[in-house]
Structure formats: C-alpha cells, structure tokens
Structure 1
Amino acid sequence: MSAIFESYERQYCELSANLTAKCPAIALLTGERRKQNLAELKTGLDEAESLIRRMDLEARSLQPTQKAVLLAKLREYKSDLNNLRRELKKLSSDTQVARDDLLEGGLLDPLKASSEQRDRLLLSTERMNQSGERIKESKRTLLETEELGVSILQDLHQQRQTLLHAQDTLVEVDDNIGKSKKILLSMTRRMSRNKWIMGGLIGALVTIILFVAYVKLSHS
C-alpha cells in the first residue's frame, strides 16, 4: 500500500473519531459556545473532505489491483463523512429552532429592541456572512491549489520513472555494445591468425610443388 495514502488515512481516521465524539457534546451546548463548536465541526469536516480528496488522487495513481482496494475503502470514508455532515445539519437546524422559540417567547423580540440595536445586529450579521463567504472562497482556492500540486507531483513521479527506465535501457544497450565489440575483436584476431595459417600452408604447398618439379627435371 502507498505510504502517502496510509498517512492521509491515519489523519482522516483520527479526525473522524474526534468529530464523531464532538457531536453529542455540541447537542448539550447553547448560545455562543454552541455556535463556536458548530463552526469548529464544520472546519473539521472540510479538512476531512480535503483528506479524502488527497487519498482519492493517490489511489488513482497506483496499480489497478491496489487502486480497487483503496477506492473501496474511500467509499466507506465518504459515507462516514456524509453521515457527519447530516449530523452537522441537524445540529444547526436545532440551533435555528431554539432561536425561533426564543423570538416567539419574547426573549429576543425585535419589536422591543431599539432601531439602533437592530441595525447593529443586521450589520454584524452581514459582515459575518461576508467573512464566511471569503473563508469559503479561500478554502476552495486552497483545495484547488492543493489538488493541482498533487497532480504536478504525480506527473513528476511518472516522468522520473520514465527517465529511470530509459537510463536502465541505455545501460543495457551500452553493455550489449561492449559485448559486441569484444566478439568482433575476437573474430578479427581469429581471422588474422587463420590468414597466417593459410599463407603458411600455401607457401608449404608451393615449396613442395617446386621441389617435386625440380626432382623430376633433374632425373629426366
């Protein structure tokens, strides 16, 4: 299994366990503490989603057999993340219902609040919404940048593997060329030796022929 995937998986499991344990505690909180914990829960879920995306990218870069196993794991993690998001939505809805009950009970009756207080409340709400949108946009940009970085790293890894394979091929070709040179040198030496042997044999035959011819001429 990929060491990178295992690292992301370990981080996700720890984060998921913490978020799951936090949900029952949030249900018992009220007011600002509840809002703060809900915000922390949402941030944790965004981080968990980012880890799942990283695991998905890493799994898809592996061999088919490994990829199939890891993608099956990811489906379980995605289902777990969806359950946590539903829990967050439920807790947020409970907060809104409680606020509406307070308004109907007159504890936060806007009609009793001054115009200035209402204006300040609306302005603060608008600023919070704008800040929330900016944070969401920043997170979206960060995730896109992170995914691009992971993609570039994968491309570089593939290029490195290609270069290493090409280097191994060149080394093998160089070894074959060296062997071929040795074979050619050996063949050249044999041909040279055979040439001298043939020359010696031809010289011996010519000498014998001339000797035989001389003997015949001298007896005639």
Structure 2
Amino acid sequence: MATLIQSYEQQYSVLTADITAKIGRLKVANEEDRDRLSREIQSNFDEANDLLEQLELEYRGSGAGSRVAAYRAELQRVKEEYRSVSSNTATYNIDPEEYDDWSGNDQRRKLLDNTERMERSGRNLTEGYRVVLETEQIGAAVLQDLHAQREGIQRSRGRLRETDATLNRSSRLAGSLAVRAMRDRLVLALVLLALGALLCTALYLYVT
C-alpha cells in the first residue's frame, strides 16, 4: 500500500513539473505550438486529477494521513498560472532571448521546488514505511504470543478433562467401597445376631 502511494506521488510530482515546463514554453511559442502545448497541458491536467483520485483512494484504504488536499491546492495554483498565461496575449510577444534569461531560471526554480517536495514526500513515505514495518513486527509478535497462550489454554483444558475423568473414576470407586462397607457391616450384624441367638439357646438349655 505505501509503495503504491509513493509511486502515485512521484508520478504526480513529475507530471506537475512537466506541466510547469510546458507553461513556460507556452509563453514564447508560436500559434501552432501554443495550440499543441495547450492540448497537452489540458491532457496533463486530466491525468493529474485522475492520479489524485487514485491517491485519495489509496490513502483512505491505508488509514494514513492524506496530503491530497495540498496536492489539489498546488494543482489549482498551476491551473491558475496556465489560465493567466493563456489569457495574456502580450506574454506571447516576449523576446525568446529575453525569455531565456529569466524563464529558464524560473523553470529551474520550480523544478527544484518540485524536486524538494518529492524528496520530502520520499522521506515521509520512508518514515511511514518504517512505522508500518515496526507495526507489522509488533503484530507478528503479538500473534505469536497469542498462539502460545492458546496452546497453553488447550493443554490446561486437556489436563482439566483428565482430572475430571480421574475424579469421576475416584467417585465411582468411593461409591463402590461405601456399598461394600455397608454390605460387610450388614453381614457382621447378622453374624452377631446369630451368635447371640446361639448363646441364648445354649444358656436356656443349660439352665433347664
């Protein structure tokens, strides 16, 4: 996701620099070249708008802070510059040699500004990519820890089932022992009663 955003931003920066350069050439171009450059600039504006729409969608999907508003403001400034050049017919009468003296510097300055913006964007994207990697590593560690905890819970559950089974067997054994003890007591009581009866009979016979 971050790589795609970076690609769109780089394409946008290159495209706006190209538009700025064409606007500069438009100031000294002849009628035929002006028509061609105007068509190309309009096409570039459409392409830039499409890039910004794609970039905005990518930002929404990533959840990161969006710089699309700043890019749109910059594009609007370039559009206003283009409209100003297009409507100012006197600009087309500039001497090419004179234009070379200041327009080239102006273009280089704008290209340098765009390059600086690209570098800042690249640094921001690099930092964002580093944060994403750190977040991914933390997420992997958390998932590994959760997996280990799940295995521990499953082992504990297995031991609880074994303990429950052992308790059930012990309960059944205790019940069986209790029944056997009661049976033994009953037999002992019967034996004692029988002995008592025999003793009484023997005493009776002895007395009589």
TM superposition score normalised by structure 1: 0.46
Flag the structure with more relative contact order, 1 or 2, with Cα contacts below 8 A and sequence separation at least 6: 2
Work out which of the two has the higher radius of gyration on C-alpha atoms and give 1 or 2: 2
